Structure 1
């Protein structure tokens, strides 16, 4: 639904505006990364590896917010492209340690450029200081709803 065609009651709801903006952001990021043969999941895993260093697949999934089954499939693609390496964990040979390769670091820089263009397209109506202010406000909202570290480590309840 186009924003200008939406009823004013909807346009007054921050949740509605955030949802509309998220849909637009998703489209722009998907198009930008897709144009160079990548997906947001690739970027999330490579970014996590660069920031936190080599880690297990399970920890990588937790830190990046991806489901374990998605992590394996995305890592398969990244390994095929030689952007990550899987090596047996020295402390537990049943696990793999995932490491970003130098080619992965270079690719991540290129993807940063694609995402910067998507961000610019999304936020074209805002000045630089308005963009920074918006990012701080959104971060504060997200942090205020983040689960506590204790809750994050507890098993999830199934069902409603």
Structure 2
């Protein structure tokens, strides 16, 4: 097997490596969610409900950065699988709250455990301190670019 320095210069560049690893990770994550019959949007809704408890559809759409009109079919699919329920709001009958069912809560928990195992497999080439350092550096880069893109 050839060493890393035998690769063309563009394949050793940070931008190329981030893009390529991002692509590999996205493909792996999509396949992983597919094994659980979920899309990224559905998973985001389940995780948001797990973290926030019962919320209205409009607020849920904000939490997962999805257009309020687009969240309806996502919720329909999750409700069909009995992973979420829509319930009337206690004080405003016009509003509906979305909540995780027991099955939804169990699925979010099992996926979190499986995702951690998948991440460990993906990062197997790094030691624990290297993983922590990589994560800290990526967080710093992400925060810098999110701040730069924020118009506020």
Q: Which band: TM-score by shorter chain?
A: 0.7 to 0.9
Q: TM-score, length-normalised on structure 2?
A: 0.80
Which residue of the partner structure matches residue 71 of structure 1? 71
After superposition, the C-alpha distances for 1:22-61 in whole angstroms (9 at most, x for unaligned) are 1111111111221232222222111111112211222222
Q: Cα 1:94–1:19, aligned 2, differ >3 Å: closer, same or farther?
A: farther
Which residue of the partner structure matches residue 90 of structure 2? 90
Larger Rg: 2
Which residue of the partner structure matches residue 81 of structure 2? 81
Which residue of the partner structure matches residue 27 of structure 1? 27
Q: Considering only aligned residues, what root-mean-square deviation do their CA atoms show, in Å?
A: 2.6
1:60 matched to 2:79: no
In 2: Cα distance, 1:92 partner to 1:142 partner: 39
Which residue of the partner structure matches residue 110 of structure 1? 110
Which runs of structure 1 show a deviation greater than 6 angstroms over 4 or more consecutive aligned residues?
none
Which residue of the partner structure matches residue 158 of structure 1? none
Which residue of the partner structure matches residue 37 of structure 2? 37
Unaligned stretches of 5+ in structure 1? 153-160
Q: TM-score, length-normalised on structure 1?
A: 0.76
8 Å CA contact 1:33–1:39 kept in 2: the answer is yes
The residue correspondences of 1:115-134 to structure 2 (distance < 5 A) are 115-134=115-134
- How many matched pairs? 147
Determine which structure has greater relative contact order: mean sequence separation of CA pairs < 8 Å that are 6+ residues apart, divided by chain length: 1
8 Å CA contact 2:10–2:16 kept in 1: the answer is no
In 2: Cα distance, 1:78 partner to 1:126 partner: 36
How many Å apart are 1:147 and its aligned residue?
5.2
8 Å CA contact 1:83–1:100 kept in 2: the answer is yes
What secondary structure is seen at the aligned counterpart in 2 of 1:25? Answer: helix
Q: Cα 1:137–1:91, aligned 2, differ >3 Å: closer, same or farther?
A: farther
